[in-house]
């Protein structure tokens, strides 16, 4: 499968635990975006990364959330000390370049449930 791969597909965490969401972009894509979809809502931009660089994190909550896209390996979205309000679907998307007209290719998402 040459598409965007996200894992795990479903993740259950108790309040206070850490959640790590992984995203491998499409082959040849070096730009990654993370979006969050709350129930009954559209997707909200969180962060935009290139390899080893955070380009735009204007949509990320200031605390507990962090993202990285190392030189080797997948992009990671990390949520520390999760709370019930973090329960959502988290989607990763990739593009081959940073052009603002490049269609985002999305993964299947990770559904995070905080109990």
Partner 1 sequence: AQKVTQAQTEISVVEKEDVTLDCVYETRDTTYYLFWYKQPPSGELVFLIRRNSFDEQNEISGRYSWNFQKSTSSFNFTITASQVVDSAVYFCALSKGGGGNKLTFGTGTQLKVEL
Q: Which residues bind partner 1 (CB under 8 A)?
A: 31, 33, 35, 40-45, 48, 55-56, 59, 89, 91, 93, 95, 98-109, 111
Closest CA to 78 of 50, 47, 55, 51: 47
* Nearer CB in complex with partner 1: 2/99: 99
* Nearer CB in complex with partner 1: 28/103: 103
CB of 28 to partner 1, least distance (A): 16
CB of 81 to partner 1, least distance (A): 26
CB of 16 to partner 1, least distance (A): 27
Q: How far is CA 111 from CA 36, 51, 65, 100, in A?
A: 10, 25, 16, 27
Whole-angstrom distance, CA of residue 6 vs CA of residue 92: 7
């Amino acid at each position: 499968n040459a598409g965007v791969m996200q894992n795990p597909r479903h993740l259950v965490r108790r309040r206070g635990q850490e959640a790590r969401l992984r995203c491998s972009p499409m082959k040849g894509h070096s730009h990654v975006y993370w979006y969050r979809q709350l129930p009954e809502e559209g997707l909200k931009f969180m962060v935009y990364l290139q390899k080893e660089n955070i380009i735009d994190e204007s949509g990320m909550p200031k605390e507990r959330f962090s993202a990285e896209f190392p030189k080797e390996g997948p992009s990671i979205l990390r949520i520390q000390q999760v709370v019930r309000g973090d329960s959502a679907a988290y989607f990763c998307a990739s593009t081959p370049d940073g052009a603002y007209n490049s269609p985002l290719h999305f993964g299947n998402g990770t559904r995070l449930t905080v109990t």
